[in-house]
Structure 1
Amino acid sequence: MKVSGLTAALLLGATGALASATPKVGKVSYDGYKAYRIATSGKDAAAIKDKLASFAAVQFNFDTQEHLDVAIAPEEVSAFEALSLPTTIMSEDLGAEIATEGNFGVYEKNVSTSAAVPSLTWFDAYHAYADHITFFNDLAASFPQNSEIFTVGSSFQGRSIFGIHLWGSGGKGSKPAVYFHGTVHAREWITAKVVEYITYKLLVDYSTDTAVKAILDKYDFYILPFVNPDGFVYTQSTNRLWRKNRQTRSGASCVGTDVNRNWPYKWELTGGASTNPCDETYKGAAAGDTPENKALTNFTLSLANSKGIKLYIDWHSYGQYILTPYGYNCQARPANQARQNALAQGLANKIREKYGTRFTYGPACSTLYATTGDSTDYITDVAKAEFAWTIELRPGGSSSGNNGFVLPAAQILPSSVEQWEGMKYLLANV
């Protein structure tokens, strides 16, 4: 969910007008870019941005009170280091890490079964978008009594926004909804992998694990791994650090709208999104005016009007946060905030048990930063979900091994396993 400029031409002190402009032909290269974490200590953030205004840089994060994560073009590294800012190294060569991450794995089936169940080697690497579609089709084909593929609509470029519906005893559509979104911000590749692992475990372990059976018998799951498919495909073909959708607009030279600032609730407020089509948090010309959001809001309301939504999670990266409502106001709290805090704390504790990974929890605005027109506020107040959270996955606040959005493939499975352990706790207790 964090915000960044996307091309070498982005100036940190500017509006980001060049970040979302129609790109040049060819794949965007980050070869030789060096990524730094700059300590800001809150009051220093604006002054540091002023010093960087003349650099061609890529800013990774928006919550700059404690630190500013930024990648510097190779020809400007010496000048940047001459500023003597308080920095630590995040990446020695961002382009090299992107290249390694882009060594997509071969999709394999589990040879020990006669069904088309995907192999767990799926979580050893990242994969091409077409393989993700095959992964979900094969899962649904392997468990036809408990799952099916569905679509909620189409993206701006006409790709299906698909999901998988899971159910247990009582049949499909008979229980309250648990509802997951992944990859609304295109560059956050780890989110798709995590929701895929959770989906995999719910189906594969249903017949052998009594705790999993109890969860799937209690809720219907609706899991949408790619709510921004156009953007995700673009990260694989052209610009690994692309964030928004790929919507063009008449009279605008810049491409894309932030689908998670376009939900038709508190959209009109200021301070949590941008009205500039060239900015990374561009909210759109009107509330809910992206094709993706129109499809998502209609589907969300259909769940709300059926059996209701018990739990919604919008999966993002990075930062290691569990964020409860609200984003639009730092003082606003839901009526069940105490219960939300207790569950979020329990989730953070359970995640930490596996590998020691620490997650910070709390209301989104006061814990991280203000957002308007976001999904969790809409799903809390309009769709009346009992719990609607954002989870920001690895990496976290430590500079060591923190590559931002380019999370090494070796961290896919640990990220997924720790979230699965947390989800088992959460789903047993909501």
Structure 2
Amino acid sequence: MRLLPLTLSIASLAAAASIPGPEHVSYDGAKVYRVKTGRQLASVTEKLSRFTYEAWNHDLDRHIDLVIPAEQVAEFESLDLNTKCLHKDLGASIKAESHGSSLWKRQGTNDTSSWFDTYHPYDDHIQFWKDLHTSFPNQSEWISSGTSYEGRDLFGLHFWGASGPGKPAVLYHAQVHAREWITSPVVEYIATQLIEGYKAGDNATTTFLNKYDFFIIPFVNPDGFVYTQTTQRLWRKNRQPGPGNSTCFGRDINRNWEFAWDANNRGASRDPCSQTYRGEAATDTPENQGLDTLVRKLRDTQGIKLYIDWHSYGQYILSPYGSNETNYAPELGKWTNTASQMSEAIRDSSDARTTFTFGPSGATLYTTTGSAPDHVYEIGGAEFSYTIELRDTGDYGFVLPPEQILPTAKEQWVGQQVLLSLLDETFFDGIGPAIFF
């Protein structure tokens, strides 16, 4: 897929990528538009060339989702492009999204439902996971996969069923890109359903925990996430300074993995100011170094049955390879069949009939080099490896309203139950990449 250069809207946004300080970025009055491209991509790109804007998506052959600053809205609307307005006032949408509760406490009944009514500060998330660990003390352990650039613990929870730990691993990564807030509540909901279901004697969750060890890292990018809550809501990367004399900050953690890191010039950027900046060398972020250490440890000790990298938005279930759209893994048949059944179950369970597109990442969406699912498959030996892009398809984008947290989490739990039930199906044996259902 072709990529437009990403330029940030309004002067404060343009500066935000190059300053480490607490200067708050305001989106008041900015609007978010979906611009249809198709055969008119070149013409649309030319018309947009005089604007400063922030592009939210890279799948540009169909449309562009972009933020237009308040002072350029009138001029943009005079272009007479084929557009749909997603946020009439992005600043107001962000304020409505950000009214999280102060420190949340688990109820005595272990009821966590109110947690998913709103988004929460980072420290509250830490407490949530500590409470979950405390609720399952003999069959879980607090783990760390290293520290972030600013020194935050890349904490996680490892939990298991009967006969102790040591079974094949299911590994989840969330909050890789800082602005994708919905990803952490989703894995929190899934972890809660697994643990509480097991404690209640539910047959399905008991089977899952007895067959697999679960490793969940809910904040791969804690520095970036905190930055989105204090300074710039739409920040994407980590908070590592750029190389040399660069005044830009941040590396894209999901372009920094070792496998296929420098495979081509399309899947990541060499520009330190870019949203998809890959870094100066593979795994040159402290976040990737710690995460990769855990991946290799699991590979060598118990094996990785399933890996999922949780993202938003677009509603996709993507398998390797992202680095080459014409390279198909031998396991593609079973990956695609499983994704198809997940997608169908999610659609049938959802009042909104939420539909997920599925397939190999590079061919289905766009090229991504140095990405986690490719690396964990190739280097980590994961039998199943996916990126899941959560709701929605563009009505709200990264600023998903709080009332959609629980429906999003519930539909993903439905999908995970299907996926976990299919991991050991001998039905898939011998299915090659040419067979799809």
Same fold (TM over 0.5): yes
User: Which amino acid in structure 2 is aligned with residue 52 of structure 1?
Assistant: L
Write the distance in 2 (CA, Å) between the matches of 1:97 and 1:6: 21
The count of residues paired between Structure 1 and Structure 2 equals: 416
Aligned-pair distance for 1:50?
A: 2.0
The answer to whether the Cα contact below 8 Å between 1:4 and 1:61 also exists between their aligned partners in 2 is no
Match of 1:226, SS? coil
Match of 1:235 among 220, 223, 228: 228
Q: Root-mean-square deviation (CA), in Å?
A: 1.9
- Indicate whether 1:198 and 2:190 are aligned: yes
The answer to whether the Cα contact below 8 Å between 1:4 and 1:60 also exists between their aligned partners in 2 is no
Match of 1:305, SS? helix
Aligned-pair distance for 1:131?
A: 0.2
* Change in CA separation of 1:201 and 1:367 when aligned onto 2, cut-off 3 Å: same
Aligned-pair distance for 1:252?
A: 1.2
Match of 2:129, SS? helix
Query: For each residue in 1:305-335, what CA deviation from the matched residue of structure 2 results, as whole angstroms up to 9, or x when unmatched?
Result: 0110000000000000000110010111111
Write the distance in 2 (CA, Å) between the matches of 1:153 and 1:127: 23
The corresponding residue for 1:300 is 295
Aligned-pair distance for 1:198?
A: 0.4
Query: For each residue in 1:149-177, what CA deviation from the matched residue of structure 2 results, as whole angstroms up to 9, or x when unmatched?
Result: 111111111111011101001112x2100
Match of 1:282 among 277, 280, 305: 277
Structure 1, unmatched stretches of 5+, are 11-15
The answer to whether the Cα contact below 8 Å between 1:263 and 1:287 also exists between their aligned partners in 2 is yes
The corresponding residue for 1:13 is none
Alignment of 1:12-411 (within 5 A): 20-22=17-19, 25-41=22-38, 43-113=39-109, 117=110, 119-172=112-165, 174-208=166-200, 209-248=202-241, 249-270=243-264, 271-355=266-350, 356-396=353-393, 402-411=395-404
User: Which amino acid in structure 1 is aligned with residue 9 of structure 2?
Assistant: A
Structure 2, unmatched stretches of 5+, are 424-437
Write the distance in 2 (CA, Å) between the matches of 1:70 and 1:7: 10
Write the distance in 2 (CA, Å) between the matches of 1:3 and 1:321: 21
The answer to whether the Cα contact below 8 Å between 1:20 and 1:280 also exists between their aligned partners in 2 is no
The answer to whether the Cα contact below 8 Å between 1:275 and 1:282 also exists between their aligned partners in 2 is yes
Write the distance in 2 (CA, Å) between the matches of 1:368 and 1:246: 27
Write the distance in 1 (CA, Å) between the matches of 2:37 and 2:4: 17
* Change in CA separation of 1:6 and 1:296 when aligned onto 2, cut-off 3 Å: farther
Aligned-pair distance for 1:56?
A: 2.4
Aligned-pair distance for 1:3?
A: 9.9
Q: TM-score, normalised by structure 1?
A: 0.93
Aligned-pair distance for 1:337?
A: 1.0
Match of 1:170, SS? coil
Write the distance in 1 (CA, Å) between the matches of 2:49 and 2:4: 17
The corresponding residue for 2:428 is none
User: Which amino acid in structure 1 is aligned with residue 27 of structure 2?
Assistant: Y
* Change in CA separation of 1:55 and 1:75 when aligned onto 2, cut-off 3 Å: same
The answer to whether the Cα contact below 8 Å between 2:35 and 2:83 also exists between their aligned partners in 1 is yes
The corresponding residue for 2:413 is 420
Aligned-pair distance for 1:405?
A: 0.2
Moved more, 57-66 or 95-104: 57-66
Query: For each residue in 1:75-116, what CA deviation from the matched residue of structure 2 results, as whole angstroms up to 9, or x when unmatched?
Result: 211111110000011111110010011101244444443xxx
Match of 1:121, SS? helix
Moved more, 17-26 or 52-61: 17-26
User: Which amino acid in structure 2 is aligned with residue 321 of structure 1?
Assistant: Y
The answer to whether the Cα contact below 8 Å between 2:7 and 2:14 also exists between their aligned partners in 1 is no
The answer to whether the Cα contact below 8 Å between 2:179 and 2:228 also exists between their aligned partners in 1 is yes
Amino-acid identity (%): 47
* Change in CA separation of 1:320 and 1:177 when aligned onto 2, cut-off 3 Å: same
Write the distance in 2 (CA, Å) between the matches of 1:19 and 1:47: 29
Q: TM-score, normalised by structure 2?
A: 0.92
Match of 2:306, SS? strand
Following TM superposition, where does structure 1 have runs of at least 4 consecutive aligned residues deviating by more than 3 angstroms?
Answer: 2-7, 16-19, 106-112
